[in-house]
Chain A
Amino acid sequence: MFFYYLKLGAVNLKRNPIITALMVITLAVGVAAAMTTLTILRGMSGDPIPHKSDRLFYVQIDTGPVGRENPNGEPDAQMSYTDTMNLWRAAKAPRQTPLMGTSDTVSPERKDLQPFITTGLAVGADFFSMFDVPLLEGRFWSAEQDKAGSDVVVITRQMRDRLFGEGQSAVGKRLMLSQRELTIIGVLDTWSPLPKFYRLVGSNRYGSHEDYFLPIEYAVRVESGIEGQVSCTSRPDPGFQGFLQSDCTWLQYWVELAEAGDRQGFADYLVAYVNEQKKLDRLPRTVNNRLRDVNEWMVQQGVVDNDTVVATWLAFAFLAVCLVNTVGLLLAKFSARPGEIGVRRALGASRAEIFSQFLTEAGVVGLVGAALGILLTLAALAYVRQYARDIALLTEMDWLMLLTTVLISLVAALGAGLLPTWRACQVLPAAQLKSQ
């Protein structure tokens, strides 16, 4: 019977074409609005590294002077060179890495390519294993190269394709960065987490990823150009050395602990470290450290912006209006057919039969609405992609979202169909037959 009802439902779409079209469009638009905002919200707020997000911690140590504290009591989002390197060299966690944004001109060896500017990241060797960075060929640099600041570099697949041609091996070749020669030792496979949770400060969170990675000791040794945010509370001494010794904050620092429970232990170590430094006349403020895991850090940095949340709220309110509208239209559609119901009931159909027939019909409307809704969602996401480049990469719709869309439309249509269907079941056959 179900398939017969399904067929009936499809045939009945053609009945009252205007009301049916209105219903389908209403449902599709409502579902599309909700799904578009939900896709973006999910892209922004999803856990970027679920299996270890509770073990990766972002460290902050307050270097500022007494008397000019932030009103909200937060230390600066980044750390000074001195503290970062002290913590990194002490290596008290199983894995740890500093992060420094760099920017360089690349001079390709191929004569047909112009020099171009690109951004990179100077990190410790642990960076790759901490953030699960996949390797396509070659290797990452070793702990010794890390300490020595060797002139080695790991580049992305895109950079390799651009410089040496698609599929060509780059390992062992030279890379000229701002006229400094480095040896390429590895090529990353595609790795583009969004938002760029590993570098939320001083970089476009939804923008392009860094093109090359080099040892931070090397970047500091050659006084590489800094790309990112630098804040100073007092003017540093002249030159790069003066800058390194200052309390300017410009580095980011991550640690990975063996398990989430080690957090308190590491926090205690940080307090001990700050107290050590106070003896050297540094860090004048009262101890004001932060140790946040990936998700806490993303919330603190406001990764999901208020606009997106507001838009999602409004979109779901919009879906609610569309549902109420669909209820009204279904009511209109079903109540135009009391005669048909009367005849079926008189011929022996139970209320349950009528109920399932009309609910199936509502479901068919929901399915057609879902199909149109998916098309509209894709169109809306394409519009968003075109308009806001920095959230462009978040607007990929995956299978899960596709399934959710179909499910929401179906549930919405069935939910909207309940009241009209129940009303249709109340039709008294005798009254209908009499009035014919």
Chain B
Amino acid sequence: MEVRPILSTLFRNKTAPLLIAAQVALTLAIVANSLYIIRERLASAARPTGLDEPNIGWINLSPVGEVADPKTMQEVDLNTLRAIPGVRSATWANMIPLSQSGWNSGGMSLKEGDNDSGINSAHYFSPGSLVDTFGLNLIAGRDFTADDVFDHDPEQGSALPKTVIISKALAEALLPNEADLGQLVGQQLFNATEAPVTIIGIVDRLQTPWSNEGADGEQSYILPIRYLVGSFQYAIRTEPGQLDRVMKEAADQLSTLRSDRVLNSQRTFAEIRASRYANETLMAGLLIAVTLFLLLITASGIVGLSSLWVNQRRKQIGVRRALGARRIDVIRYFLVENMLITSGGVLLGLLLTLALNQVLVRQMEVPRLPAEYVGFGMVIMWLLGVASVLGPALRAARVPPAVATRTV
């Protein structure tokens, strides 16, 4: 192999190869770290809520003044909503996943008097069936019936429900390292309300309004409570493909029902999700743009400098060709030269990648970069180097041997 002469040429003329190597190193450091951050963000934004998302909408009205009889108003609203063609289920709910604000309780426990278990949970409640309306997957026990529902008027004190449905993540937090979560059904849960409530069902997944990373973001429970205040917020689940039309009709009909309320918001679940993860999407988008530009720029730099070398070496190439080197030998020369430079850059880049990651880990709580991303980045850089040098190398191969005889 002709590595020795290539190396000696490189050492004779160090500046340009060093520049390319430095560029490759910096690019690798940035690309590997950004790829990882992009993937993290997109994976975080793609986590499922447990809901039948494509068919769910959320509509919200506020009263202009005091509300005399919220119970009847809620019932009239729900009957109106359920009468709209295409509505599969509708119910009042105190909050919806990913909305970023809502109710939360701490100290969930299976033992009485245990107030500092450290287990937090989102506190959902509804007079109807969130299992139906959210489209949750009940994996154990049963759903609420009308008999489970209690009216609660915050002005009058508490009427306390006796039953609760919990999410699988909460079940796992309550019973760590236990395969059979079904045994929780029938047990008492403490601190969800002042009095213990009996667990009657477990749903597979129900994300919290905050959807934090990890199990914390899926620890939820649902209580069967009819909340007698003048807030009118309804979750609607439609037959597939009907959501947009139903949301429009729902807004129209609820608005015309009474004049003493204002339509606050009407959002499909897709919109709620987009707004929850707007920053993640933006960050990923910017990083993808930066990564692509970076690869493009590095490639253009390699093409530029390789072309320059080819031009500078036309005579030497001609001499080599005249002395019997085949075209493939010329191409191989440039490819090997490029591989050597890129490899130098990649090795330097490995250190830079780890250093940059170290900075990010220490200062920004970014998780440590897994090795496969470094490997993937290295492969990308090698491929990029070869692809960039191929054009100039082919041009070099076309230099005719006769060049050797022309200029002095």
Interface residues of A (CB under 8 A from B): 19, 22, 26, 29-30, 33, 67-68, 103, 105, 107, 114-117, 178-179, 229, 235, 237-240, 305-307, 309-311, 313-315, 317-318, 320-322, 324-325, 327-329, 331-332, 335-336, 384, 387-391, 419, 423, 435
Contacts and interface: CB of A to CB of B under 8 A. Distances in A.
Given A179-B65, A238-B157, A29 B20 contact: no
Interface string B280-313: 0111011100100110011011001101100110
A131 B62 CA distance: 31
Contact of A328 (B63, B301, B312, B356): B301
12 contacts: A29-B293, A115-B64, A229-B101, A306-B365, A309-B363, A310-B364, A322-B297, A325-B301, A329-B301, A335-B312, A384-B286, A390-B278
A423 B15 contact: yes
Contacts of A331: 15-16, 19, 305, 308
B308 A336 contact: yes
B238 interface: no
Contact of B33 (A314, A335, A384): A314
B154 interface: yes
Given A238-B155, A307-B279, A311-B286, A68 B116 contact: yes
A388 B19 contact: no
B122 interface: no
A68 B114 CA distance: 11
B149 to A, nearest CB: 20
B308 A335 contact: yes
Interface residues of B, number: 61
B366 interface: yes
A326 to B, nearest CB: 9
A327 B19 contact: yes
A330 B239 CA distance: 63
B360 interface: yes
A314 B34 contact: yes
B278 A325 contact: no
Contacts of A336: 308, 311
Contact of A318 (B194, B282, B290, B305): B290
Contacts of A26: 297, 300-301
A45 to B, nearest CB: 14
Contact of B285 (A33, A117, A327, A387): A387
Interface in B88-130: 101, 106-107, 115-116
Contact of A324 (B23, B157, B264, B359): B23
A311 B289 CA distance: 12
Contacts of A335: 308, 312
Interface stretch (B24-32, B75-83, B372-380): B24-32
A115 B255 CA distance: 12
B23 A314 contact: no
B158 interface: yes
Contacts of B286: 311, 384
B115 A387 contact: no
B106 A179 contact: no
B251 interface: no
List the 6 closest A-B pairs by CB distance, nearest first: A179-B65, A238-B157, A306-B364, A325-B301, A332-B308, A328-B19
Contacts of B272: none
Determine which residue in B27, B65, B275 has the highest number of CB atoms from chain A within 10 A of its CB, and name it: B65
Contacts of B294: 318, 321
B166 to A, nearest CB: 20
B103 to A, nearest CB: 9
A235 B194 contact: yes
B210 to A, nearest CB: 12
B64 A235 contact: no
A314 B157 CA distance: 54
B335 to A, nearest CB: 19
Given A240-B155, A419-B15, 5 more contacts: A22-B300, A179-B66, A314-B34, A321-B23, A384-B282
A114 B156 CA distance: 33
B360 A332 contact: no
Contacts of A324: 19, 22-23, 26, 301
A117 B290 CA distance: 41
Nearest to B22: A324
B37 interface: yes
Determine which residue in B64, B281, B312 has the highest number of CB atoms from chain A within 10 A of its CB, and name it: B64
